[in-house]
Amino acid sequence: MTRIEHDFVELSFDDPRGTNRLDAAAARELREAVAMIAIADRVHGVLVTSRQSGFVAGADAVEYSALLQKPQRDVETVARQMSESLRALGELRFPVIAAISGPAIDGGLELALAADFRVMSATARTGLSQVRLGLLPHLGGTARLPRIVDLGTALDWISGGNLFSAGAARSAGVVDDVVDAATVRKHALDWLTRAASGALDWQARRRAKESAVALSAAEIEDLCRTKTTDAAKTSPRHQPAAIAAIECVRRSSQLDLPQALQLEQREFATLAKTQAAASLVQAVCNEILLKTRSNQRAQQARRVQQSAVVGAGIMGGAIAYASALVGTPILMKDIAQRQLDRGLEEVDQLLARQVSAGRLTVEASQAVRSRIAPQLDYLGFAQVDLVIEAVVENLGVKHAVLAEVEKAVAADAIVATNTSSLRVDDLAAPLARPEQFVGLHFFNPVPLMPLVEVVQGSRTSDATLAAAVGYALALGKTPIVVKDCPGFLVNRLLTAYLLGFAGLVFDGADFVKVDRAMEAFGWPMGPAYLADVIGLDTMSHIIDIICAGYPQRMTTTPLEPTKVMAGHQRFGQKSGVGFYRYETDPNGRRKKVQQPDSHQLLATSQKSGTRDFTDAEIVERMMLPMVLEAAVALEEGVVESPAALDTAMSLGLGFPKYAGGPLQYADWLGLDKVVELSTRYARIGPLYRASDELRRMASRGGRFYSE
Ligand code: NAD
C-beta 577 within 6 A of ligand 1: no
Strands (E), 467-606: 478-483, 580-584, 590-594
Give 479's DSSP letter.
Answer: E
Closest C-alpha to ligand 1, atom 38: 444
Distance 172 CA to ligand 1 centre (A): 52
| Positive/negative CA dihedral, 676, 680, 681, 683 | positive
d(CA 32, CA 9): 14
Active site residues: 441
* Residue among 28, 52, 57, 40 at smallest CA distance from 2: 40
The structure's pTM equals: 0.93
Residue 589: what pLDDT? 85
Q: Is 310 near ligand 1, meaning CB less than 6 Å away? A: yes
Rounded to the nearest 5 degrees, what angle is found at the Cα of 366, between the Cα atoms of 364 and 369?
Answer: 115
Burial (CB count <10 Å: 0-12, 13-18, 19+), residue 58: buried
Q: Is residue 178 classed exposed, middle or buried when 0-12, 13-18 and 19+ CB atoms within 10 A define those classes?
A: buried
Low-confidence ranges of the chain (pLDDT < 50): none
Q: What three-state secondary structure class fits 699?
A: helix
Distance 320 CA to ligand 1 centre (A): 13
| Beta-carbon-side half-sphere exposure of residue 587 (alpha carbons within 13 Å) | 2
Distance from the alpha carbon of residue 317 to the mean position of ligand 1, in angstroms: 10
Ligand 1 mean position, distance from CA 323 (Å): 17
Strands 580-584 and 590-594: antiparallel
Nearest to 88 by CA among 46, 134, 147: 46
How far is the centre of ligand 1, averaged over its atoms, from the C-alpha of 551 (Å)? Answer: 28
Distance, in Å, from the CA atom of 520 to the CA atom of 525, rounded to the nearest integer, reads: 9
CA–centroid distance, 312 to ligand 1, in Å, is 7
Helix (H) or strand (E) holding 451: strand 451-456
State which H helix or E strand residue 309 sits in: strand 307-310
Residues 354, 365 contacting (CB under 8 angstroms): yes
Q: What is the CA radius of gyration of the chain?
A: 29
* Partners of residue 10 on adjacent β-strands: 2, 47
Residue 71, preceding bond cis, omega within 30 degrees? Answer: no
Q: Is 309 in the pocket of ligand 1 (CB under 6 A)?
A: no
Best residue among 338, 341, 347, 392 to mutate for probing ligand 1's pocket (most ligand atoms within 8 Å of CB) is: 392
CB-count exposure of residue 640 (10 Å: 0-12, 13-18, 19+): middle
User: Atom of ligand 1 at shortest distance to CA of 401?
Assistant: 18
Task: Indicate which atom in ligand 1 lies nearest the CA of residue 392.
Answer: 5
Cα–chain center distance at 702: 26
pLDDT of amino acid 590: 85
Minimal-distance CA residue to ligand 1 atom 29: 390
CA distance 75 to 53: 30
Does residue 336 line the site of ligand 1, with CB under 6 A? Answer: yes
102 vs 165: CA distance, rounded Å: 11
Contacts of 555 (CB under 8 A, 6+ apart): 499, 547, 685
User: Are 492 and 629 contacting, i.e. CB atoms less than 8 angstroms apart?
Assistant: yes
Q: What are the start-end ranges of the H helices in 301-438?
A: 314-325, 337-356, 362-370, 395-408, 424-427
Query: What is the residue-wise DSSP string for 51-87?
Result: SSSS-BB---HHHHHHHHTS-HHHHHHHHHHHHHHHH
What element of type H or E holds 100? strand 96-100
pLDDT at site 707 = 58
CA atoms within 13 A on the CB side of 407: 8
Amino acid at 687: L
Centre of ligand 1 from the C-alpha of residue 653, in Å: 21
- Pocket of ligand 1 contains residue 83 by CB under 6 Å: no
Q: What is the distance between the alpha carbons of residues 663 and 675, in angstroms, rounded to a whole number?
A: 13
- Residue pair 109/90 in contact (Cβ under 8 Å)? The answer is no
d(CA 78, CA 67): 8
Nearest one of 566, 688, 699 to 622, comparing CA atoms? 688
C-beta of 398 in contact with ligand 1 (< 6 A): no
Residue from 420, 537, 540, 651 whose mutation best tests the ligand 1 pocket (most atoms within 8 A of CB): 420
Q: What is the pLDDT of residues 473-531, one digit of tens each?
A: 999 999 999 999 999 999 999 999 999 999 999 999 999 999 999 999 999 999 999 99
User: Which atom of ligand 1 has the smallest separation from the CA of 398?
Assistant: 18
Helix, strand, coil percent values for the chain (each to nearest 5): 55, 15, 30
Residue nearest to atom 8 of ligand 1 (CA): 313
Residue 316 Cβ contacting ligand 1 at under 6 Å: yes
